[in-house]
Amino acid sequence: MRNLPMKLKAFLVTIYILAFGSLCIFLYLNYIPLELSNYMNILFFILLTALTESITVPFYGFSFSTSFAIQLASYILFGPLSTIIIAIVGFSLRILKTNNKHIHILNTPLYKTVFNYSIFLLSTLYGNYVFLIFGGRLPIKNINENIVPIIAFCIVFFLLNTLIISRLFAILNNRNVLYFFVSNAKLGLLNILAMAPFGVILAFIFNSYKYIGVLLFIFPIALARYTFSIYIESKSKYIQTVNALMRAIEARDKYTEGHSQRVSEITRIIAKELKYGEWEIEQLTIAALLHDVGKIGIDDHILNKPGKLTAEEYDIIKTHPEIGYNILKDIKDLEKINNIVRFHHERFDGKGYPLGKKANELSLDVFIVQLADSIDAMATDRPYRKALSQEEIIEQLEKNKGTQFHPDVVDAYLKALKKLQK
C-alpha cells in the first residue's frame, strides 16, 4: 500500500475507518444482536460461500457470483453478525481461477482483502439498518411478513456496494464516478435481481430440509455456472486467437502495428455512446479486430513502401476488404462480422470501395468501424505524412460528415470524446 497514490490511499483508509467505526457503533446501539447461530450452520454456510466465490464468472468485464444468494439466505436465517462472519471467512477461503492464475488470500495484497471486507461490512450494516427502519424484526421468523424490509436490505446493499466500487474505479482512472456507477449498476442490478430470489428460496429450503435440501438445490446451479464458465473461457480464447492473428498480420506492416486493437477500442467507445447492447458491442469489436485481415494477401513491398503508393499499388491495397471477406465467408456465425470486414472502406455518399454502396444499403455497424479505422489512421504516422493532432482530426470529421462519414456516428464519437476529456 506504500506505493499507492495518495488519493487512493486516503480513499481506502476512509473506507476502512467507516467500516470498523460503523460496526462498533451498530454493536453499541444493539442494531446488530450479538447472537450467533450454532457453529455447524455457520461452518456449512462458510463452505458454501467459499465454493460460490471460487466459481465466480467474469462476464463483459463484470464478475457474477451466486455468493449474494448465500449471504442473503444466511442473513434471513441467522441475522447480520453470523452473516458477516460467514461472508468474511468464506471469502478468505476462496480459490478463484482467472487468466490461468489462482487467486487466494495468500497472494492477494492485504489492503485489497481488507477493502473487500470493508465493502461487505458497510453494505450489510447499513442494509440491516434500513431493514430495521422498514419494520423488519431479527431474527426473521416469517419471510412473508418481512418481504418489504428484505427488499430494502437488498437495495441498500446493492447501492452501497456499487457506489464504493465505482468511486474506486473513478479514482484509478481519473474519471467521473457517475460514469462507472451507471455501467456497474446495470450488471450489478442484474446479478442482485437474479440472486435475491435464490437467497429467499435457499433460506426456505434450509428451514425445511436442512443441509441435504440446500446441497440438492445448489448442485444444479453450481453445475450451470461451471458450464457457463467453460463457455466464457472458450470465448476468451477465441478473442485472444483473433488478437494474435491480427498482431501477426500487422507485424508485416511497421506503419500499422497495433492498429486493429486501437480501432477495436475506438469502436467500443462509439458503440457505447450509441447505446448498443454488450453483445452487439462484442461483435463489433471482433469485427474491428478483423477488419484488415485481408492484408495478409497484399505483398510486403506494397504494405511497407516508404513513399506514397502509385495508382496501381493503391488499387491492389483496395482489394484487401474482398480478400478478408473471402477468408471469413465460410466461417459459421461470422456473417455480420464478415459484412463489416468487406464494407469498412465504403463511404456515406457511396463513393467508397469495394462496391460503392451508399448509406441506405449498409448497416450503421459498418460506419462505426469505418470511422474508428479512419480516426486511428489519421492519428498515426504514415510514410507520406505525420500524424494529425486531435484538433485536426476533429476538423476532418466535421468537414467530411455526411460525405465520407455517417453523421450520427461522427456525432456519437465527438460526444463520447467530450465525456472522456472531462
Confidence of residue 99 (pLDDT cuts 50, 70, 90): low
| DSSP states along 76-109 | HHH-HHHHHHHHHHHHHT--EEETTEEE-GGGS-
pTM, to two decimals: 0.63
Residue 36 DSSP one-character state: -
| Dihedral class, residue 228 (left if φ above 0, else alpha if ψ from -120 to 50, else beta) | alpha
Q: At residue 200, does pLDDT exceed 90?
A: yes
CATH superfamily of 251-421: Hypothetical protein af1432 (1.10.3210.10)
| DSSP states along 37-51 | --HHHHHHHHHHHHH
51-66: pLDDT as tens digits: 888 876 555 444 556 7
Please classify residue 331 by burial: count the beta carbons closer than 10 Å to its beta carbon, then call 0-12 exposed, 13-18 middle and 19+ buried: exposed
Give, in order, the Cα–Cα distances in Å from 153 to each of 132, 135, 138, 158, 182: 9, 11, 13, 9, 20
Kindly report the average pLDDT of the chain as a whole number. Answer: 87
Which residue do the cell numbers 492477494 mark? Answer: 108
Please classify residue 305 by burial: count the beta carbons closer than 10 Å to its beta carbon, then call 0-12 exposed, 13-18 middle and 19+ buried: middle
Torsion of CA 410, 416, 417, 419, to 10 degrees: 150
Sign of the CA dihedral with 12 first, then 17, 20, and 23 last? negative
Give, in order, the Cα–Cα distances in Å from 34 to each of 16, 46, 342: 22, 19, 67
Are 302 and 331 in contact, with CB atoms under 8 Å apart?
no
335 vs 57, more confident: 335
Classified as helix, coil or strand, 57 is: strand
Are 62 and 284 in contact, with CB atoms under 8 Å apart?
no
215-241: pLDDT as tens digits: 898 887 777 667 766 766 676 766 777
Q: Any idea where the domains of the chain sit in the sequence?
A: 6-236, 251-421
Residue 140 CA to residue 215 CA, distance in Å, equals 22
Q: At residue 275, does pLDDT exceed 50?
A: yes
- Strand 96-98 relative to strand 62-64, pairing: unpaired
Position 160 scores a pLDDT of 96
Are 120 and 88 in contact, with CB atoms under 8 Å apart?
yes
Position 228 scores a pLDDT of 66
Confidence of residue 121 (pLDDT cuts 50, 70, 90): very high
Position 217 scores a pLDDT of 87
Confidence of residue 312 (pLDDT cuts 50, 70, 90): very high
Mean predicted confidence (pLDDT) in 317-321: 93
Are 195 and 68 in contact, with CB atoms under 8 Å apart?
yes
Please classify residue 217 by burial: count the beta carbons closer than 10 Å to its beta carbon, then call 0-12 exposed, 13-18 middle and 19+ buried: middle
Are 117 and 85 in contact, with CB atoms under 8 Å apart?
no
